[in-house]
Amino acid sequence: MTIVGHEKLTARDIMTPECQCVRSSDSVLDAARKLVELEVGALPICGEDNKLKGMLTDRDIVVKVVAQRKDPIGLKAGDLAEGVPVVAQADDDVDQVVRLMAEHQIRRIPVLDRTELVGIIAQADIARALENRASGEVVEAISQE
């Protein structure tokens, strides 16, 4: 998908900077409280080395912890990180970011500057940055099943 007229926009231009992480060692309960406190639906999971380990969503907590009657105090946020996280680089153009989000069917993507987490992009960030028609196409591409 190419977003006409927006070739010069980069991930850095549209990301929400300075996003917070939950530590992989934090309990799922503490991670859930942080989601509530920050009024967000997802946060990156960072290890003690400050490297990105994955993403944690409110849905992960409901499906993988609450619905399975697991202990949210004993279970660590890092236990919910699966596989290698999909990321964008800060200098990637918006078209590349949109392709990644659509290909992996994700609504939020962490943004790295080499290996350092510098921000996060959500569907809403793309919608704000692009014209109505283009943002509608993006949302449709990301939300397909």
Q: What is the CATH number of the domain that holds 125?
A: 3.10.580.10
Q: How many domains does the chain have?
A: 1
Given this model, what pLDDT does residue 94 score?
93
Is pLDDT at 4 greater than 50 in this prediction?
A: no
Give percent of the chain with pLDDT exceeding 70. Answer: 85
Q: What is the mean predicted confidence (pLDDT) over 55-84?
A: 94
DSSP-assigned states of every residue in 15-36: SEES---EETTSBHHHHHHHHH
Q: What is the mean predicted confidence (pLDDT) over 57-78?
A: 96
Higher local confidence (pLDDT), 83 or 132:
83
Q: Does residue 3 lie within any of the structural domains?
A: no
Q: Does residue 4 lie within any of the structural domains?
A: no
- The four Cα atoms 40, 85, 114, 18 give a dihedral, to 10 degrees, of 10
Given this model, what pLDDT does residue 142 score?
60
Higher local confidence (pLDDT), 28 or 8:
28
